[in-house]
Amino acid sequence: MIDRANHDLFKLLPPDAKVIVEIGCGTGSRGEQHKLIDPHCQYIGIERDREKAKIAVDRLNWVTVADIEEIAIESLDIAPGSVDCLIFGDLLPYLKNPWEILQQYSALLKPEGQIFATIPNVQYWRRIVNLLRGHWENPDSKMQHWFTLESIKSLFAQARLQVYELQGKGHKTENFAQFQQLLHPMVKALELKSSDFATETGAEYYIVRSTKSTVQPRRLLIQTIIMAPTGCDRVRVLEPDKFSATIPGVRTVSGVKEAELITPLHGEEKVFIWQRTIMQYPAYIPKLKQLLKQHYLIVAEIDDNPIRRREYADNNYLSYLGCHCVQTTTEPLAKILRHYNPNVAVFPNQLAYLPPPRIYPAEHTVTIFFGALNRENDWQPIMAALNRVLVAHKHRIRVKVIHDRRFFESLEIQQKEFEPFCSYEGYQEIMYSCDIALLPLVANPVNEMKSDLKFIECAARGVAVLASPTVYEHSIVEGETGLIYKHEKEFELKLNSLISDTSMRQEIAANAYEWVRDNRLLCGHYRQRRDWYLQMRDELPRLNAELRSRLPELFAE
């Protein structure tokens, strides 16, 4: 239970926290994983086990060997009011006086700082059943206190902390339903609410999220229907949703190609996002009317030029005209979309995680990477030059290709490997094993709307990039974070240089890695979505008036 609880808790840590203190950090493995999300985060560990602390020292920014029940808080060298996030993990029930410890350590928090903890629930239905059978669960006999839902709230309230979320976690089997039925007469006799009793007995443990702030967070439900899951769901929906869900008051839900409307919690404002949805006119009008009737902010999410699919035009561009607002990936694409809907926000693609800096093997072979969808027209102009370079370096070169069989078959060397369309994890692993990536895009209306995601993925994995000016010249600093070619001859010269000059190649890759670390990680940008949704909700009267003028049939009775 403890490992699962800690995993659930650490998914909720704010990705942009500047200072995190983990009490009972163990070997530092959780902090090490968090620093892949934000390498700039100062992650401090407090651990009483010296052997574990020795391991944690190499993973975290610094580690103090201490028992928090025996050491004065002043001796920790952590300034009051300096901590964004304080993690107790599963420690609180094991302390002699968790009330006093919470009160002392909350002084370390900034005004908006948060405390996270996991606490077993003494009311869990299996524990009640075991107790009635004469058995009691205390696995390691070191637990000092057991808590109910209400006593957890009291514990934090006494430390002047506001619990803004309690997530109950536990397995609810058929036996749980039988338990509720058997105890229903007792629940009724005690004048308890059946729904509350079911909630309180269904949780094996609680994840507690609390804050020093007395201001109630504005609550927001973000629901997305994913209509194009292949290739863009992760970066456009799943990872932004995961990060947004760490913001106090925000709840995110998504479904692939179907989405039953989620029942909102009390006081929750609602957003519904159509990801890459081609809305049929007039078939989608009733669906949009239902969302309007239930006071949703309706958002279109698109990351490709609408001219690529004629179905948008065939359906009167309902996908954009029928929404309050639109979100997209690049400013050039936003300019196109504003012809259909003036309320467009740009959220560039960012990376959710940054691998550790690349350590290159001491081998002579240079590996070239090519992996993309629908790029045949883009690579054909450079294929002859590419083959000349490959043949010239055939004794020290190999090429790894993902998905594009025709590109693979056009390569005139034997040292080549092909991988069909694969998982994102497999894609990353193959990329990480390469030294140079080729990113060709010819200039046309569709390509010019694309994002630079391929470049930042390569840069994060220590792969030097040779790219076309289309899209990439706006991100790459020529000769510093990558190389740009404008014609076939320049492509040939620069690829030769990247293969021949190892130090130049690795320096370019290192510069690009640092640029991504400092500029293109999602941890520094994820709040923009939530802030924009709330702004748009505040402007719903205006947005509804504009929507009525574009599509009056949405408001017809």
Query: pLDDT grade, residue 364 (50/70/90)?
Result: confident
Q: How far is CA 506 from CA 382, 396, 509, 515, in A?
A: 23, 17, 5, 14
Which SS3 state, helix, strand or coil, does residue 402 take?
strand
- The tokens for 407 are 């590109």
- Structure tokens given for 330: 């690049």
**Boundaries of every domain in the chain:** 2-211, 220-352+527-555, 366-519
Number of alpha carbons in the 13 Å side-chain half-sphere of residue 362: 0
Please, is 45 exposed, middle or buried when counting C-beta atoms within 10 Å of its C-beta (0-12, 13-18, 19+)?
buried
pLDDT band for position 2 (cuts 50, 70, 90): very low
Per-residue pLDDT band for 370 (boundaries 50, 70, 90) equals: very high
Among 11-20, 131-140, 145-154, which stretch is predicted with the lowest mean pLDDT? 131-140
297 pLDDT higher than 90: yes
Determine the average pLDDT of the residues in 126-154: 86
pLDDT of residue 140: 60
Per-residue pLDDT tens over the stretch 511-554: 999 999 999 999 999 999 999 999 999 999 999 999 999 999 99
| The residue to which tokens 């000059």 are assigned | 501
* Residue pointed to by tokens 């993925």: 457
Judged against a pLDDT cut of 80, whether residue 95 lies above it is answered with yes
Q: Which residues contact 255 (CB under 8 A, 6 or more apart)?
A: 224, 225, 226
Residue 19 backbone zone (phi > 0: left; psi -120 to 50: alpha; other: beta): beta
Instruction: State which amino acid sits at residue 290.
Output: Q
For 366-519, CATH number?
A: 3.40.50.2000
Model confidence pLDDT, tens digit, residues 394-407: 999 999 999 999 99
What is the rounded end-to-end Cα distance, in angstroms, of the chain? 53
2-211 against 220-352+527-555: fold identical: yes
Query: Rounded to whole angstroms, how far apart are CA atoms 122 and 325?
Result: 47
Q: Over the chain, what is the mean pLDDT?
A: 94
Instruction: Report yes or no on whether pTM surpasses 0.85.
Output: yes
325-328 β-sheet, strand order: 250-256, 220-226, 269-275, 297-301, 325-328, 344-346
Q: Which are the contacts of 530, defined by CB distance < 8 A and separation ≥ 6? A: 220, 222, 244, 247, 250
Q: The domain at 2-211 falls in which architecture?
A: 3-Layer(aba) Sandwich (3.40)
DSSP string, 196-264: HHHHHHH-SEEEEEEES--SPPPPEEEEEEES-HHHHHIIIIIHHHHHHTTSTTEEEEEEES--PPPPP
Where do the H-state alpha helices sit in 140-214? 149-158, 174-189, 194-202
User: Which of helix, strand or coil describes residue 395?
Assistant: coil
Cβ neighbors of 29 (< 8 A, separation 6 or more) are 59
- Residue 6, pLDDT > 80, answer no
Write down the pLDDT at residue 422.
87
Query: Exposed, middle or buried: residue 524 (CB in 10 Å: 0-12, 13-18, 19+)?
Result: middle
Instruction: Specify the 3-state DSSP secondary structure of 335.
Output: helix
* Domain boundaries 220-352+527-555, corresponding CATH code: 3.40.50
